[in-house]
Amino acid sequence: MEFIEIAKVCEKVSMTRKRNEKIKIIADFLGKLRPEEVAPSTLLITGKVFSDLEQKPLEVGYVTLIKALNTKKQGTLFQRRLSILDVKKAFEEIASASGKNSRIKKESILKSLLSNASELERKYIIKNIFGEMQHGVGEGLILQAIAYAINANEEEVRKAYMFLGDIGETARVALTGGINAIRNTNLELFRPVKPMLAEMSYNFEEPLREHGGKSAVEIKFDGARVQVHKKGNKIKIYSRRLSDVTESLPDVREEVKNELKAEEAVLDGEVIAIGTEGKPLPFQELMRRFGRIKEVQKKIKEIKLKLYVFDLLYLDGRVLVDETYENRTNKLYDIVGNLSTAPRIIATNVDEIKSFFERAIREGHEGVMAKALRSNYIPGSREKKWFKLKSADTLDLVIVGADWGYGRRTGWLSDYYLAVLNEEKNQFEVVGKTFKGLTDEEFKQMTKRLQELKTRETKHTVFVRPEIVVEVAYSEIQRSPTYSSGYALRFARITRIREDKSAYDIATIKEVKRRYLEQFKYKGKIE
Ligand code: ATP
């Protein structure tokens, strides 16, 4: 099918505000595609280009794009209509252009792509490059459209998506195999699933109340989530974003290989960096190793890592996600050998949780996790089955723009616009600005990275593709008439750069609203 059809669908969905209409338009379109076109089309409609699993950055900067756009349209003699697969292929070539002349290579592929495109097609190619479609179609809506197309229930499709980890692949499975293929989707070795997440709790009573008076309380490590898949001697380690990070963690892989007493297994856990006395080091230290494949051997000597496992999703041919936490962890303890598991207590009263929390903080950890003993493992879900209790209020936000600094910070993009995800509208909305929290070196690096992500600029501000995720501490959330989100963070300060998260893993507007209301439990409400 021709790419113009994707552009037309995007135009059509942006013209209506009715969710049901958007769903029908997309479902109808998906139904007309050839099998090999379904996955790329789904990604192109959402503005993703590549799936999270592929993790291929396009790295097309503003300058490259402008240059390509300014090239005169080539003669029409050899011009042909662009197909969906042509566009996908061109993006693939752009992403894989590397080495010394990569910028020139990228520019030339882009030039030829754009010169074959009509005005409308160009519009959507550019929107894909910048990653913001502004047509109100997020993952949620795509999942509904897939469900509608095959007459399935949305929850079934969402479940399959959490196992597949890729929305394009989910659409392909659904459109080619129908409802049965969706229902039969399950965990498979070497195909990572989205990790189960936790809801924030602001007090020690809530977990016990929700978990029927008994919770397993584990240390919450300040590291990076990993999913380890093993079959015989083959071991792969995946990140929270489901990318393969095995190469950067050969020491962790060796440890699993030597210790794990199972032929086949999928483990869930956290990797942290540790100092000489075994104490946890700041997250930034971990990020010098996690996912970095340059000079691995040298870095292994400099930064020691430690793996803590806390869940078991698969064991010797059996998927365990539908078993209880209690059963899963019992099986885990049987096979871990000398691997470390997350220290935990089974708590039945608030004081036990409180003193375990205090111990966690004293030992340099982030807080604790409280898990329901009878809960199954639901990939990708954030529910009350798991709670996190932390000492500081932070939100993960994405940088969407930055102002040039002045005074000591002249020449640096140093005042950042921070945004949350509006899941309904699939857009990023500003909740605050900050110039606090980064070191001079980090300001310099951030300036460079932001310039590469530039989408437009004014005299004082550079607007960027939403890609860099930061953890932000704040003192209070207020209502805001100025920011598009309707909320503003007071005294926002960046506490870390979260290389392990994508823009779609950040705080949602719903979460900000929940936290805003939560504040009034402790103080009076002033509207
Ligand atoms: P945060 O920003 O607090 O790390 P998150 O959005 O990355 O949160 P959450 O579900 O909110 O994810 O918090 C759970 C995270 O805490 C997990 O993704 C994991 O990386 C980490 N973690 C540390 N220790 C544990 C543990 N014992 N059990 C589960 N998760 C743990």
Give the residue whose CA is nearest to atom 4 of ligand 1.
222
Q: Count Cβ atoms below 10 Å from residue 237 Cβ, excluding itself.
A: 26
C-alpha 142 to ligand 1 mean position (Å):
27
Q: What ranges in 407-467 are assigned the alpha helix state H? A: 440-452
Same domain, 176 and 212: no
CA dihedral 21, 23, 28, 31 (to 10 degrees): 180
Q: Are residues 251 and 178 in the same domain?
A: no
Indicate whether 204 and 303 sit together in one domain: yes
For residue 195, the ligand 1 atom closest to its alpha carbon is 18
In DSSP notation, 121-145 reads HHHHHHHHHHT---SS--HHHHHHH
**Nearest ligand 1 atom, CA 394:** 2
**Which of 162, 197, 340, 356 has most ligand 1 atoms within 8 Å of its beta carbon, as the pocket-test mutant?**
197
Beta strands in 15-117 (DSSP E): none
* Residue 357 Cα to ligand 1 middle (Å): 15
Contact (Cβ atoms closer than 8 angstroms) between residue 41 and residue 6:
yes
Q: Can you give the CATH number for the domain in which 278 is found? A: 3.30.470.30
pLDDT at 77: 46
Plot region of 310 (φ>0 → left; ψ -120 to 50 → alpha; else → beta): alpha
> Domain check: are 370 and 235 in the same one?
yes
Give, for all 527 residues of the chain, the pLDDT tens digit: 999 999 999 999 999 989 999 999 999 999 999 999 999 999 999 888 888 777 777 778 777 777 777 765 555 544 678 999 999 999 999 988 888 888 888 888 988 888 888 889 988 898 888 877 778 788 889 999 999 999 999 999 999 999 999 999 999 999 999 999 999 999 999 999 999 999 988 889 999 999 999 999 999 998 999 999 999 999 999 999 898 999 999 999 999 999 999 999 999 999 999 988 888 888 888 988 887 888 888 888 889 999 999 999 999 999 999 999 999 999 999 999 999 999 999 999 999 999 999 999 998 888 999 999 999 999 998 999 999 998 778 999 999 999 999 888 899 999 999 999 998 888 899 999 999 999 899 999 999 999 989 988 999 999 999 999 999 999 889 999 889 899 999 889 999 999 888 888 999 999 999 888 877 765 444 43
CATH number at residue 135: 1.10.3260.10
CA of 222, closest atom in ligand 1? 23
Question: Closest Cα to residue 466, out of 87, 107, 96, 129?
Answer: 129
- Which atom of ligand 1 has the smallest separation from the CA of 505? 6
Q: Given this model, what pLDDT does residue 423 score?
A: 86
Task: Answer yes or no: is 129 within a domain.
Answer: yes
Choose the residue to mutate in 202, 217, 221, 384 for probing ligand 1, maximizing ligand atoms within 8 Å of C-beta.
221
Number of structural domains (the chain) is 3
Find the CATH number of the domain harbouring 408: 2.40.50.140
Same domain? For 210 and 168 the reply is no
Cα separation, 239 vs 228, in Å, equals 9
- Taking CA atoms only, the protein residue closest to ligand 1 atom 24 is 220
Nearest atom, ligand 1, residue 196 CA: 10
Active site residues: 220
189 falls within a domain: no
Per-residue pLDDT, 527: 38
Of all protein residues, the one whose alpha carbon is nearest to atom 2 of ligand 1 is 396
Q: Which of 462, 414, 457 is nearest to 437 (CA)?
A: 414
Within-domain flag for 526: no
Instruction: Mark which of 390, 411, 427 sits at the end of a domain.
Output: 390
Does residue 59 lie in a domain region? yes
Taking CB atoms and a 6 Å cutoff, what residues make up the pocket around ligand 1?
195, 197-198, 218-221, 225, 240, 270, 310, 342, 369, 388, 396
Residue nearest to atom 19 of ligand 1 (CA): 225
Structural domain for 110, as ranges: 3-183
Q: How far is the CA of 198 from the centre of ligand 1 (A)?
A: 7
Q: Are residues 409 and 364 in the same domain?
A: no
Residue 188 lies in a domain: no
Question: First-to-last CA distance in the chain?
Answer: 53
Mark whether 133 and 269 lie in a shared domain. Answer: no
Expressed in angstroms and rounded, the spacing between residue 281 Cα and the centre of ligand 1 is 17
Looking at the fold, whether 212 and 347 belong to one and the same domain comes out as yes
Q: How far is the CA of 222 from the centre of ligand 1 (A)?
A: 8
Query: Last residue of some domain: 358, 390, 422?
Result: 390
For atom 3 of ligand 1, the residue with the nearest CA is: 388
| Alpha helices for 116-236 (secondary structure H) | 119-130, 139-150, 154-164, 167-183, 205-210
For residue 458, report the distance from its CA to the centre of ligand 1, in Å: 38
Centre of ligand 1 from the C-alpha of residue 81, in Å:
47
Closest CA to ligand 1's atom 16 = 220
**Strand, helix or coil at 311?**
strand
- Looking at 390, 418, 445, which one is the last position of a domain? 390
With the most atoms of ligand 1 within 8 angstroms of its CB, the residue from 218, 388, 500, 510 to mutate is 388
Nearest atom of ligand 1 to the alpha carbon of 501: 7
In this prediction, residue 84 carries a pLDDT of 94
Q: Are residues 12 and 87 in the same domain?
A: yes
Q: Is residue 527 part of a domain?
A: no
User: Do 385 and 398 share a domain, yes or no?
Assistant: no
Shared domain for 293 and 357, answered yes or no, is yes
- Let me know the angle formed at the C-alpha of 83 by 81 and 85, rounded to the nearest 5 degrees: 155
Do 56 and 115 fall within a single domain? yes
Structure tokens at 66: 């402008």
Q: Is the pTM here over 0.75, yes or no? A: yes
- How far, in Å, is the centroid of ligand 1 from the Cα of 224? 8
Q: Compute, in angstroms, the gap from residue 408 CA to the centroid of ligand 1.
A: 37
Run of H or E including 456: strand 454-457
pLDDT of residue 218: 98
Residue 32 lies in a domain: yes
Mutate which of 217, 225, 384 for ligand 1? The one with the most ligand atoms within 8 Å of its CB, which is 225
**Ligand 1 nearest-atom number relative to CA 390:** 3
Q: Is residue 112 part of a domain?
A: yes
Asked if 215 contacts 372 with a C-beta cutoff of 8 angstroms, the reply is yes
